[in-house]
Structure 1
Amino acid sequence: MTERGEPQMEAAAEVVQGPLAPPVATAAAGPAAGTVPQAPPPQPGSAAQQAVARVSTWNIANALTIARLAIVPVFTAFLFVDGTNWRIAALGVFLLASLTDQLDGWLARKYGLITDFGKIADPIADKALIGAALVSLSYLGEIPWWVTVTILAREAGVTLLRFLVIRHGVIPASYGGKVKTVLQIAAIAFYMLPPMPEPVRWVAMGLALIVTVVTGLDYVVRAVRLRQVAMRARAERRPGGG
């Protein structure tokens, strides 16, 4: 279909040229034959621009995650030095590192800094901090070893599970996993405070243990579902599939 002004332009050309005048090439309204029309530039906010503007791995949220990993040896060293002041210092470093866990997650969500690196590194940093605290306190005879082994076995299992299904996708930390981390931090902090009554410590650690086991089973279910969805999607993309 031609543009509305094109027939008048052709008629005017015929009047000027006359019947014996040589033909003059006129510009066609559409693209020339044999040429490939150019795609329009991506509009602001389009999927093409969003794909180009990817979030950099080196951002403030991931920097806090790396800092939390670096703090773990400092906390452990303070914990093994005798003296009430050193124990308080160890508790302060432990709580500071735990605070960065909440802060980096908030920054990532608020400013759109969520990356695959952060999804993997953040729970690893949490496990390193919690694991160092549990092993150190068990070595010092303040937390039973079976509690430490149970929690560490769950954490190691979930981490291994993440890497086994990473080719299908990344399993982000769940809300239950965050609750589990907060309960573990609170229970460990209670054990690091000398005047804390023993029943309070056991109640806090018992709650942390229950949530730890339940959320571990939840990760298994999510990993199985992720694998099934990914395999189903690949089967549908194959020729003749779906």
Structure 2
Amino acid sequence: MTGVPASAAGGTGKPAPGGKLGAAAVNQASLWNIANILTMIRLVLVPGFVALLLADGGYDPVWRAWAWAAFAVAMITDVFDGHLARTYNLVTDFGKIADPIADKAIMGAALVCLSSLGDLPWWVTGVILGRELGITLLRFWVIRYGVIPASRGGKMKTLAQGTAVGMYVLALTGPLATFRFWVMAVAVALTVITGLDYVKQAVVLRRQGMAAAERAARDEREAAAER
């Protein structure tokens, strides 16, 4: 009941011709919220960032500065889109899928480009990307038993990676170039430590979930036997 007389809707009591279009508009509006728009911006920034970083052979300080600006914007939007989605209940299926893809795309693109330019050892890129791929597979492995919440270590890892990669994107020399090496060392250490911690939590969660499922099945069998 809407409280609107049938005559006001044409007197037939049937849905207005634009009913389906109205529903589609609502669904579209729910997709085009500020959190999702920020995620889309981050996705669009990936090819632009790569083009800027590799422009003029990849060693022009000016182009590298522009690439850093694009990378910084991507990292900032990563902070705000998730916060806005949770705070204002803007979580959508698109955001759940696109947000982690955008995160990995910008970081992966930066690491691969820096290694291809010879600025960053390939093993560093391999460790970071391997960890991210492994964690993604672990999520699918335990998803039926629950979700592992983000830890403080994971947030520190993300901050360290973003800072270190951003410093490598810039054409730094002298003491700053030495400093970024140590920042990257911290980022790699946190990547490995938090990755191992995630594996431990995933194993525990899966064992607990399997044990709970076995108890539930046993209780169900016992209840059926008593009938």
**TM bracket, shorter-chain basis:** 0.7 to 0.9
Greater RCO structure (CA 8 Å; 6+ sep): 2
Question: What TM-score comes out, normalization by structure 1 length?
Answer: 0.68
1:163 is matched with which residue?
Answer: 140
Q: Distance in 1 between matches of 2:48 and 2:84?
A: 25
Q: Which letter does structure 2 place at the counterpart of 1:73?
A: P
User: Are the structure 2 counterparts of residues 228 and 57 from structure 1 closer, same or farther at C-alpha, using a change threshold of 3 Å?
Assistant: farther
User: Are the structure 2 counterparts of residues 190 and 161 from structure 1 closer, same or farther at C-alpha, using a change threshold of 3 Å?
Assistant: same
Selected match of 1:142 from 115, 119, 126: 119
- The Cα shift of 1:59 comes to 4.3
- In the alignment, structure 2 segments of 5+ residues that lack a partner are 1-29
Q: Distance in 1 between matches of 2:93 and 2:153?
A: 20
Question: What TM-score comes out, normalization by structure 2 length?
Answer: 0.72
Checking the alignment, whether the CA contact within 8 Å between 1:79 and 1:87 is kept in structure 2 is yes
Counterpart mapping for 1:203-218 below 5 A: 203-218=182-197
Q: CA RMSD in A?
A: 2.4
Q: Percent identity?
A: 55
Q: 3-state DSSP class of the match of 2:221? A: coil
1:176 is matched with which residue?
Answer: 153
Q: Distance in 1 between matches of 2:46 and 2:170?
A: 19
57-66 or 92-101, which deviates more = 57-66
User: Are the structure 2 counterparts of residues 170 and 124 from structure 1 closer, same or farther at C-alpha, using a change threshold of 3 Å?
Assistant: farther
Question: Whose Rg is larger?
Answer: 1
- The Cα shift of 1:58 comes to 6.2
User: Are the structure 2 counterparts of residues 79 and 181 from structure 1 closer, same or farther at C-alpha, using a change threshold of 3 Å?
Assistant: same
Selected match of 1:240 from 200, 210, 221: 221
Q: Which letter does structure 1 place at the counterpart of 2:113?
A: S
Checking the alignment, whether the CA contact within 8 Å between 1:60 and 1:104 is kept in structure 2 is yes
User: Are the structure 2 counterparts of residues 165 and 141 from structure 1 closer, same or farther at C-alpha, using a change threshold of 3 Å?
Assistant: same
Q: How many residues align?
A: 187
Selected match of 1:74 from 16, 26, 48: 48
59-68 or 131-140, which deviates more = 59-68
